[in-house]
Structure 1
Amino acid sequence: MSEDPGISEDASATFDIALAEYLHLSGLVFLYYDHILTFPMEVKYLWKHLGCNSKSLFLLNRYYSVLGNAIVTYSIFSTSLAPKRCRSLHLFREILLLSTQVIVCLILSLRIWAIYGREKGLFAFLGVVGMILIGLASFAVFFGEHSTIRASITGEGCHSELEFITSIQAASAWEALFLYDSLLLALLLYKGFKTRRELGRVPLLEVVLRDGSLYYIMMTLANLANIFTFYFTGPFMRGGLSTLSSATSVTMTSRITFRLHANAHKETVESYELGTLRFAAAAGTADQHNANSRPSPV
């Protein structure tokens, strides 16, 4: 007795939809949980000088993704949306994912640029490469053959179905991001080896290079895993790791920033304490000298 192909396809689609929902929720929990854990550090290191452009960009990265994913989650699990509304929310999700990655790449590029001493040539190089890759990613997401992307209401909520050819095109946006992340990681590792060879150990820079490399690798692996879903999974599961990959990028970027501020604050405190000890030692020596120079009573 053969199995009905229609029933098999429906079961496979239902499984893909459920798996995509669970993976979306896992990315959401990861993002929100880490946001709560690091909120005290955000208040301590960033809220005192909100006018700074770099800190404003960092806070945009933190809260844009948090608020945007709340809307996406509503659309994924809502079964009462009109089909037109579902398609609009699908477009919103694509814009959210792309713009979030642009913000992350901008922050990380500024970090790399700072590590290299704000070289104008590197700034121009990263800017040109970034604009080219953003252009390619935007074209792939918004100006391709989207007639085969069926964003519609299912029994589980609002979901999109990607045919294989369309999924390859959508994957190219994430592949552009993967290339840029890999470029930043290569620049970071090169600077680390060069600095160690020329200057030896530089504590703050060593922290940046060690932790930065680890965080970059985590972001790159999460992105690579999401790229694989476009090639090796079913229509409803293609891009199913997008939320988790995006959440990893946002979270790791936050962690890099907090580590920088924490270590810079630690060095400032240690320098202040060392200076205080030196001042106290100098004052004690002066007092002893004055005492020794006083004439003894007759």
Structure 2
Amino acid sequence: MASAAEAAQEALLKQLFVLLEDARTTAAISLAGLTIIVFDHISTFADEVELIWKTRLSLINIFYVWIRYFTLVTLTANVVFLLTPQTQQSLVVSTVHIIGTTVADLSGLKSCQRMLFGEMATSTVTIISTDLVLVARVWILYSKPKGLLIALLTLVSLEAISMSIVGYFTIRPLREFVHAGSHLTGCYSLGMVIQVSVGPKSRSPEVPRLFTYYSLPVLIIAVIMFLMTLYKCGTNYLAMGSLQRMPLFSMFLRDGVLWFLFLLADCVSEFVIWSRARPTLAQTPVIFPTAIISVIGTRVIMNIKHALNDTDFGSSSYGTSLTLPTGLETSTGTGSGSYSDRRPSKRSADNSPWYLRTT
């Protein structure tokens, strides 16, 4: 009997060492994501000042500022929490309880559950915000029909609802968390690490496999947006015979392909980790991909702003009418007039609603 108890404790200690290693891995990857965000802020700040802060208020500017700074603030808070040991003695599961393998009257770390909910919610908000940028791009490509806008916004709304439901029902059952002093940072459900025994009864480990479906709506939206972009740019390419004569379409296609490839790789990796990997790695594909998605979203917006200020875009002919948010139209024709010749008059621009302005 004694040898069986010793073997159980030894197995439990091995599980705890695995948890500590996974916690360090999660913290390192999350810190790398925050580093990318900070580096992107520094490297693009000059362009941000010229193209965002020195231009008039517009919806595209609001989206840029919101995605950029909301992500910076929330990811910073999440990373700080992941790097901080949870040491509230009145609310923690003690190391003695864990080593003994018998846990009774466990108290959940309310701050841990709130942190996990906050991490899920802020990641969802960032993803939905960048998906709205995708919606705007596709809407512009198709000359801004009202019906298409309603359909795309409905899809994104369903995406947000489904992601929130999956996240809520994944995190809600997690009420008991491991405490190992200063050796363990962040929050990890006790059931992810060991099978908890309470008296003669035994509970199965809390494995958040439901989170496997969290990225599925993101992938569905990405596929729809990518196929619509590919179809529109492809039909215009067949009509014109060259993307060089359609620089705006070329830019939209390039950004769309890069965006889709990253989201595809991200969603596949999340699916594998959340369905097959150790539960203690569940937080690994959260902060880092959110940071990359935020960077891609703001870079896409910046590319659109650059395009509107680039005279090269006005010196080409286009296979179809492309109505931009400013009211600027690059229409079918063979003329090679300059961008400034086609720019709306100052009086016309001043009469435009503020949310349609970009300069």
TM-score category (smaller protein): 0.7 to 0.9
Distance in 2 of aligned mates of 1:165 and 1:119 = 47
* Greater helix share, structure number: 1
Is 2:38 the partner of 1:32? yes
Spell out, residue by residue over 1:41-74, the C-alpha distance to the aligned partner (whole angstroms, 9 max, x if none): 1111111235212211221000000011111111
- For residues 211 and 105 of structure 1, do their structure 2 counterparts lie closer, same or farther at Cα, with a shift above 3 Å needed? closer
Spell out, residue by residue over 1:98-129, the C-alpha distance to the aligned partner (whole angstroms, 9 max, x if none): 11111111121111111111122321221222
1:86 corresponds to which residue? 112
1:269-288 equivalences in 2 (<5 Å) = none
Spell out, residue by residue over 1:162-212, the C-alpha distance to the aligned partner (whole angstroms, 9 max, x if none): 758753312212221121112211211111211101234312221221233
Where structure 1 has 5 or more consecutive residues not aligned to the other structure, the ranges are 279-298
1:156 corresponds to which residue? 184
Distance in 2 of aligned mates of 1:121 and 1:269 = 28
Distance in 2 of aligned mates of 1:24 and 1:11 = 20
Q: Is the 8 A contact 2:117 2:171 kept in 1?
A: no
**Aligned mate of 1:131, from 147, 152, 157:** 157
1:187 corresponds to which residue? 228
**Aligned mate of 1:47, from 53, 58, 66:** 53
**Aligned mate of 1:17, from 18, 23, 40:** 23
Q: Is the 8 A contact 1:23 1:240 kept in 2?
A: yes
Is 2:283 the partner of 1:239? yes
- For residues 26 and 110 of structure 1, do their structure 2 counterparts lie closer, same or farther at Cα, with a shift above 3 Å needed? same
Moved more, 101-110 or 169-178: 169-178
Per the alignment, in what secondary structure is the counterpart of residue 236 of structure 1?
helix
Moved more, 181-190 or 220-229: 220-229
For 2:229, the aligned partner's letter is: L
Q: Is the 8 A contact 2:86 2:186 kept in 1?
A: no
Shift of the alpha carbon at 1:219?
A: 3.0
Distance in 1 of aligned mates of 2:178 and 2:60 = 39
- For residues 275 and 247 of structure 1, do their structure 2 counterparts lie closer, same or farther at Cα, with a shift above 3 Å needed? closer
Shift of the alpha carbon at 1:14?
A: 1.4
Is 2:215 the partner of 1:174? yes
For 2:124, the aligned partner's letter is: L
Q: Is the 8 A contact 1:87 1:152 kept in 2?
A: no
1:89-128 equivalences in 2 (<5 Å) = 89-128=115-154
Give the aligned CA root-mean-square deviation in angstroms. 2.8
Is 2:295 the partner of 1:260? no
Distance in 2 of aligned mates of 1:198 and 1:125 = 27
Distance in 1 of aligned mates of 2:338 and 2:113 = 62
Distance in 1 of aligned mates of 2:253 and 2:229 = 7
1:221 corresponds to which residue? 265
Aligned residue pairs total: 276
Q: Is the 8 A contact 1:27 1:243 kept in 2?
A: yes
Q: Is the 8 A contact 1:28 1:247 kept in 2?
A: yes
Moved more, 230-239 or 146-155: 146-155
Distance in 2 of aligned mates of 1:145 and 1:43 = 40
Per the alignment, in what secondary structure is the counterpart of residue 159 of structure 1?
coil
Equivalent pairs: percent with the same residue?
16
Where structure 2 has 5 or more consecutive residues not aligned to the other structure, the ranges are 89-108, 193-204, 316-336, 342-359
Distance in 2 of aligned mates of 1:150 and 1:175 = 28
Distance in 1 of aligned mates of 2:140 and 2:236 = 14
